[in-house]
Amino acid sequence: MTPRERALALARGGQAALEANRGRINDLNVYPVPDGDTGSNLADTAGRLAEGLAEVPEGSSPAAIARAASRAALMGARGNSGVILSQMIRGFAESLSAEAG
């Protein structure tokens, strides 16, 4: 597996897990507003992350893939939970690209 394929598989796996639990998480939602969209927001944000990674050219460096992941999550963040998820992705991406150089 190339780094890009691995990152994409990771993102799609996460998206699938969130999609599978979308309804359950929606039912849990009480904050910031109990409108039952936390699961949908997380799944949508993860979907945007996967879409962003799919656009990364094959052969890109791990650092470039990490930056693309961070940007895709930032721009694709939906809802309070999505913004928080994007910050977690950014944290992973920053330390990954620092290590990859």
What is the contact surface with other proteins in residues (CB under 8 A)? 32-33, 35, 74-75, 77-80, 82-84, 86-87, 90
Minimum separation from the CB atom of position 6 to other proteins (A): 25
Q: Are 42 and 26 in contact (CB under 8 A)?
A: no
Tell me how far, at minimum, the Cβ of 22 lies from other proteins, in Å.
19
Q: What are phi and psi of 11, to 5 degrees?
A: -65, -40
What would the two tokens of residue 87 be?
């910050």
- Nearest CB to other proteins, comparing residues 3 and 49: 49
